[in-house]
Amino acid sequence: MTALSSRIAAFADRWPKFLALLLGAVSATGFAPLDLWPLTLLALAAWMALVARAPRGWRAAGVGWAFGVGHFAIGLNWIATAFTYQAAMPAWLGWIAVVLLALYLAVYPALAAWGAWLVKPRGDTHFAAPSYLLAFGGLWILTEWLRSWIFTGFAWNPLGVIAVPHAAVPARWIGTYGMSGIVFLLAGVLILAWFRRRVAAAALFGSVLLFWGAAFVSQMGSNADAAVHTKGADRIPVTVVQPNVGQQDKWEGSKADANFAKLARLTTPKDDIPRLILWPEAAVPDYLERGYPSVYYDRSPAEARARIVRLMNPDDVMLLGALKLELDKTGEVVGARNAVMTVHADGTLGPRYDKAHLVPYGEYLPMRPILSALGLSRLAPGDIDFWPGPGPRTLDLGAFGRAGLQICYEIIFSGQVVDRDHRPDFIFNPSNDAWFGSWGPPQHLAQARLRAIEEGLPVIRATPTGISAVIDADGRIVESLPMHAAGRIDTVVPPARAPTLFARFGNSLPVGFALLLLALAIAFRRSGR
């Protein structure tokens, strides 16, 4: 074992960034669809030991940056598939986009590595110093939280998602980013065990286990209270429709009627019980609102709504993804909204939700005047940008309760998915994952499950090609439809839990947890322990 350790150390000293790049790639295998989370823990432990060996702070940052490049390039490989659906750009550009995005996102692991190295006691004998391990966990939390909002944020694949669902129970208290810190502490246990710091390893693992147990007991108590509260209460019947319309067919004008026929066939009622019907994001290409110049309509709003109403029972309500246009005073289109509209069985429209957290280069072109002047307008599809809505909103659906809305990508932003002043009964997440390849949809689903755990609310997803699912307030999948299959789910909305600690205080809790870890790290360093 000593000879093997010496060889590994020699290789690490000679090729630290290359080894970090490989470890970053391995760490990404813990995400869906592979779910090889033990490899993630081992890769994190090896990376932290590698950072600790760096002779200078800037070299520690370089090792952190190389790790991040491998981590994000593998975890976000589905973005390359998304580019194959943009006819204006060559498919190979997708892989360039993945690498460029990884090069940027790697800055955050680099910052965490640099900060942890600064806290580490000097000397090779302190690789397993508690101060270093605690600081690494706290700094990863902070940098992951920063990643969620700097430059509008890109919070995809936080480390805590590998714990979904059962091991992610502490997310009720410390949120997703706090769970990522827990993942780092578990990797720290491996380092302590490797360096035979048995007492420290047992203490750290015992602390994590105790914290998890307390959160689990709290969840069980919440479940019992919810069961008493909801006993005899009306349950909301829902029909979730997944038409299996591929991205290559979605906006093909000649296939519009065939696409609608798929939705219609799966929506037709089986009995006369009132239902809440849930269709995916941008389910129909028709404009359902009046007031646009006639040139923009393929069919009138009345006709577009009428063919939807024919699929509904007299007391049904439908939530569906549709587009809304924004016109200037001359009647010219100047923007659009990615919206969810409420359609009643009498053909009237109810409250509408406009997507607030838009996808850069997917739904709008940042700095459009400058990039267009440089000939880069093709980086985003279309000639106009989507406009953002005001943020999380709860729609009152009468007998069908209160629905919180998050369209597609919005569901990945921890602490930003619910109007806390008007808490909903459930979250509806219509999405279009058809262009996310084979890795994107299961990763998207896993992050939606984290939102359910954090907020104590069921989440219902409707997508064109999967994975559509009904998720209970503990993050468990009650029913789902597989990828690339047409189908429908007829069920009832799972009960909501009492507001969790995270639902009350949001991301102030993981940030506070990170600061606590950093304070403990500094205390350990000063005590020389």
Q: Report, as residue numbers or ranges, the catalytic residues.
A: 281, 355, 408
Residues paired with residue 57 on neighbouring β-strands, in sequence order: none
Residue 319, SS3? strand
Supply the angle between the helices 107-119 and 130-147 in degrees, to the nearest 10. Answer: 150
Q: Where are the beta strands (DSSP E) in 317-455?
A: 317-327, 333-344, 349-354, 394-396, 402-405, 426-430
The half-sphere exposure of 355 on its side-chain side, counting CA atoms within 13 A, is: 28
In 148-197, which ranges are continuous DSSP H helix? 171-194
Rounded Cα–Cα distance for residues 33 and 117 (Å) = 33
In 324-439, which ranges are continuous DSSP H helix? 368-373
* Spatial contact of 459 and 446, defined as CB atoms under 8 Å apart: no
Rounded Cα–Cα distance for residues 529 and 524 (Å) = 5
Rounded Cα–Cα distance for residues 73 and 71 (Å) = 6
**Number of neighbours of residue 229 by Cβ within 10 angstroms:** 13
DSSP calls for 282-293:
T---S--SS-S-
Residues paired with residue 324 on neighbouring β-strands, in sequence order: 337
